[in-house]
Amino acid sequence: MVQKYNKKMIVDVKWIVVLSVLFLASCSQTRFVPEQEYLLNKVELDVDDPKIKKDEAKSFIRQKENYKILGFVKFYLTLYNMSSKKKTDDWLKRIGEAPQLYDEAMTERSIEQLRQYMDNKGYYRAQIKSDVKFDEKKQKAELKFNVKAGDQYKIKRVNYHFVTPELKTIFYNDSISYSMRSGDAFDFYVLEQQQKKIVDVYRNNGYFYFTKNQVRGIADTSLYEKQVVLDMYIGESENSQMDSAKILKPYYLNNFYYSILPGNTPVTVAGEEDETFSDTLHWDNSSLFMTKQIQYPPGLFIRTNQMRSGDLFQNSEVENTFNGFNRLRQFRFVDIQFSETFPEQDSNLLDCNLRLAPLNKQSTSFDIEGTNTSGNLGVAGNIYYQHRNLFKGAEVFQLRFKGATERMHRQINNGSEYFNTREFGVESNLIIPKLLGPGKYIKSFEKNLPKTVLNMGYNYQKRPEYTRTITTLKFGYDWKTTQDLRHLWNIVDLNIVRLYEFDEDFINSIRDLYIKSSFTDHFISAMNYSIIYNNQRLNSSKNYTYARFNIESSGNVLWTASKLAGKDKSQVVDSVTNKTIEYYEIFNTQFAQYIKSDIEVRRAIQLDKYNSIVGRAFAGVGIPYGNSRFLPFEKQYFSGGANGIRAWQVRSLGPGTYSAGEGSYPNQSSDIKLEANLEYRFGLIGSLEGALFLDAGNIWAINKNDNREGALFRFNKFYKQFAIGTGAGLRFDLNYFILRVDLGMKLRDPANEEGHKWIIGDRSLTANDFVFSFAIGYPF
């Protein structure tokens, strides 16, 4: 939802911001600092070796100053200082942050922690000093730590010692043995990573009881100057209460017990048949315990379980199995435990107990929202239905009904007129946790737990100038090769667009060929593939990277078949150019032919508890050819709006330097898109978050069939045609979703005349330079 901000409101906001800043600045930062104490105003760290990561080293400092937002505002301290001195627990104290005081003992503790950190990094002769400056009048202190690293110790050689020949063979058969070499820096944190990797090697070769206690290192620095001789002992059980015979032998998988828990039923011994379960199935070395209300076929567990009876225990396959059951979207929790088959005997067999608690089988929900597109008001609603285990094979079926109506206006020759639009649609999605169709013959897929995905949809749109229906059908596969790497392959992606009940005067009045192409019947028969990398974790504040690459082609098979069959082309005269256009048809409809590809990368960096920076870059291009002069309207790129360049309304930017007529309904789209966004997010009060952002980019046409002036992409000009906007926003975390409001402001408009594209410094800002937008969720 996007609307323009009126001028009076902009002026009011400016004054509100100014007064707020003055008020916050007027609050004394030392209001709650006791006498003879000092507010820790600043903490700095200076390290003379660039190989030391300053942010990492700073995390070991125990003396912390109060959190800042915007890099300089101690917002939470200010809130605390605004609280009452008479009340010890008022709400401002709860949401604010008490003043951080200088503490000499904590400073000494910080020096010890920094020295330990430098020792762990191999700087055994580092010198660490602190310097504190007091401002008696302002009752503030500034603390600085200086670290002179000295020389870093290097590894002279690594000696490995194994308890058994089998451990030695496994180790040297794995490339992990070469991760620490002579000449490398001696770094305790690298050594810890090496320890974990060695444990993983053995746990993936059957050594079920092998832990980090069986891998230890001893470093000797006395033999050589600033060099370390490292002895690694693998398999020794120092201070271990476990029988060494168990630790030093590989285990094999034996029986599997699957328990489907109804409700919150606890099962103390998985695999034990009791009154909890009414149905039991047995096959090979597996048993499935269920109730009549919750039924799943054995094939589901055979496909999802990556472990097999008789195989060596492998920790990686346990993780793959756990992730596989979670990806089914059927279970509230998945618990995998192991026990010895014959605990009283000298056996090397393990039984696997899998406990699974299903989610609710069916659910429904609905939402209703007001819409505001360029000042046009409307209402929209959705009804959602979901069924898990539709055909008792863990299938997930989703159904969505949507409807909307909006009061709009359009420009006509004699002025403007208002009208109502109506839209109704239904979308269905079926996810089947196995391969159907041609994919089932690709045996390498099975290891990656693929899903077959079927999508169908129908959309009806009614406007005064036309009525349009869009029918969609998709059939493809969804699978993951690692925890972070996902693949989507739609081998069938059909779109059928039909337009009828035309207003001939309106259609003939369109001189923009790209917009006019959207008012034609067309048939899209595409195949597309996407690969997605995402290491973001739910409920985690760590840095993450998201990257997605898409490629899609359409019409090649139909064009080749039409050509080989000697099919005649249809002809039509373009009313704008008066040129004869020829094309092949299928079902009496022109089919689209194009190739399209785009890539998107996002990177989030968590600065501290309250501050983060998120960046995004996008590049995409679509090339129509053969049977098409233009990309289908549904496949074209557009910019602006709440998830693009937020200083422009959606579809109102570009292409290139082109500008639609005053009062025109925003409908700009084209073949090429370049866009970059940078957003700084900072916590405010409770679940309220603020943001500052900078957006840049544009869209362009790829061929001369586009008759819009300034729309064509040219290598020697495109970088001069970027639109740039900035702004601020608020995010409200409402648990189930995030409500977002942004105020975007234009900085550079490529549609302006040469020499006047930058707005600030060239002219006064107007209401048209601001766009206020509402949205659900983060922009990226």
Query: Greater confidence, 617 or 368?
Result: 617
Determine the average pLDDT of the residues in 704-711: 82
Domain boundary among 358, 386, 416: 358
Most confidently modeled range among 482-486, 512-516, 619-623: 619-623
Q: Tens digit of pLDDT for each residue in 336-367? A: 999 999 888 888 999 999 999 999 889 998 87
| Cis upstream peptide for 99 (omega within 30°) | no
Residue 263 reports pLDDT greater than 90: no
**Residues 374, 635, 718: CA angle, nearest 5 degrees:** 75
Same domain for 202 and 182: yes
**Domain containing residue 746:** 639-780
> Which range has the worst mean pLDDT, 135-139, 622-626, 732-736, 753-757?
732-736
Same domain for 177 and 133: no
Same domain for 125 and 185: no
Predicted confidence band of residue 301 (pLDDT cuts 50, 70, 90) = very high
Please state the separation of Cα 405 from the chain's center in Å: 32
Domain of 734: which CATH number? 2.40.160.50
Distance (Å, rounded) from C-alpha 158 to C-alpha 185? 12
Same domain for 770 and 685: yes
Same domain for 223 and 100: no
Query: Greater confidence, 540 or 172?
Result: 172
Instruction: Give the per-residue pLDDT at 152.
Output: 93
Predicted confidence band of residue 90 (pLDDT cuts 50, 70, 90) = confident
Same domain for 772 and 686: yes
With CA atoms as reference, report the closest residue to 570 among 590, 587, 594: 590
Predicted confidence band of residue 523 (pLDDT cuts 50, 70, 90) = very high
Same domain for 256 and 243: no
Same domain for 196 and 87: no
Same domain for 659 and 779: yes
Q: How many domains does the chain have?
A: 4
Q: Is residue 619 part of a domain?
A: no
| pTM score, whole prediction | 0.84
Residue 200, SS3? Answer: helix
Instruction: Give the per-residue pLDDT at 99.
Output: 92
Q: Is residue 711 part of a domain?
A: yes
Q: Is residue 15 part of a domain?
A: yes
Distance (Å, rounded) from C-alpha 259 to C-alpha 248? 31
Same domain for 298 and 333: yes
Determine the average pLDDT of the residues in 21-45: 78
Domain boundary among 106, 126, 148: 148
Instruction: Give the per-residue pLDDT at 262.
Output: 79
Q: Is residue 107 part of a domain?
A: yes
Instruction: Give the per-residue pLDDT at 109.
Output: 95
Predicted confidence band of residue 177 (pLDDT cuts 50, 70, 90) = low
Query: Greater confidence, 654 or 426?
Result: 426
- H-type helices in 443-555, by residue range? 504-509, 513-517
Domain of 122: which CATH number? 3.10.20.310
The percentage of the chain sitting over the pLDDT mark of 70, rounded to a whole number, equals: 87
Residue 165 reports pLDDT greater than 90: yes
Domain boundary among 358, 385, 420: 358
With CA atoms as reference, report the closest residue to 642 among 725, 571, 750: 725
Residue 203, SS3? Answer: helix
Amino acid at 690: G
Predicted confidence band of residue 371 (pLDDT cuts 50, 70, 90) = low
Torsion of CA 651, 615, 774, 724, to 10 degrees: -50
> Which range has the worst mean pLDDT, 378-392, 426-440, 492-506?
492-506
Q: Is residue 96 part of a domain?
A: yes
- H-type helices in 435-568, by residue range? 504-509, 513-517, 556-564
Instruction: Give the per-residue pLDDT at 512.
Output: 61
Instruction: Give the per-residue pLDDT at 25.
Output: 47
Residue 215 reports pLDDT greater than 50: yes
Same domain for 168 and 297: no
DSSP β-ladder status, 485-500 and 522-534? antiparallel
Q: Tens digit of pLDDT for each residue in 621-652? A: 999 999 988 898 889 999 998 889 999 988 88
Residue for token pair 């239905």: 385
Q: Is residue 417 part of a domain?
A: no
Same domain for 200 and 121: no
Instruction: Give the per-residue pLDDT at 275.
Output: 57
Predicted confidence band of residue 314 (pLDDT cuts 50, 70, 90) = very high
Residue 762, SS3? Answer: coil
Average pLDDT along the chain: 85
Determine the average pLDDT of the residues in 93-112: 91
Q: Is residue 30 part of a domain?
A: yes
Could you count the other beta carbons within 10 Å of the beta carbon of residue 392? 11
Non-local (6+) Cβ contacts of 11 within 8 A are none
The percentage of the chain sitting over the pLDDT mark of 90, rounded to a whole number, equals: 50
Q: Is residue 495 part of a domain?
A: no
- Burial bucket for residue 385 (CB in 10 Å: 0-12, 13-18, 19+): middle
